């Protein structure tokens, strides 16, 4: 809830849900849970996501927006992992924080459905 008040331009807001982590700490197959309801043809779209890890999820959302005829697509993430595991050639336009390649949670991101409400961003201990 801290980002939207900072965006000082007229906008329509929609929500989608797509996941690779359904209760795990490793990404699996993509699952569309909810697709956007608003018409995005000929619109500028800002995709906002919590984390950019391998790039698979944002690439799929970007592909979907292009398929729907979006005029312009930008991406913003709260966290981008510094890793060599990127599996797609996608770049993020706006990044809040770069973190090491570890599983992070808090500030809206969960660990096994817990800790979304943590007031900071934390990493699991390395094993």
User: What sections of 36-114 are H helices per DSSP?
Assistant: 56-67
Q: Cα separation of 38 and 6, whole Å?
A: 22
Q: Cα separation of 25 and 114, whole Å?
A: 12
Which pair of tokens denotes residue 121?
A: 């961003």
The residue annotated as part of the active site, out of 42, 50, 53, 93, is: 53
Note if 14 is an active site residue. no
Q: Cα separation of 48 and 6, whole Å?
A: 14
Specify the length of the chain in residues. Answer: 127
CA proximity to 81, closest of 106, 50, 59, 113: 50
Find where tokens 């390395």 sit: 126
- The residues annotated as belonging to the active site are 53
């Amino acid at each position: 809830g801290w980002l939207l008040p900072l965006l000082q331009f007229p906008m329509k807001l929609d929500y989608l849900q797509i996941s690779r982590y359904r209760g795990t700490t490793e990404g699996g197959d993509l699952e569309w849970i909810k697709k956007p309801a608003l018409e995005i043809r000929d619109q500028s779209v800002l995709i906002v996501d919590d984390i950019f890890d391998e790039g698979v999820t944002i690439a799929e959302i970007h592909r979907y927006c292009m398929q729907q005829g979006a005029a312009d697509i930008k991406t913003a993430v709260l966290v981008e992992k510094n890793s060599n595991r990127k599996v797609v050639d996608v770049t993020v336009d706006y990044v809040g924080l770069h973190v090491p390649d570890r599983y992070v949670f808090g500030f809206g991101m969960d660990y096994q459905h817990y800790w979304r409400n943590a007031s900071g961003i934390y990493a699991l201990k390395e094993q």
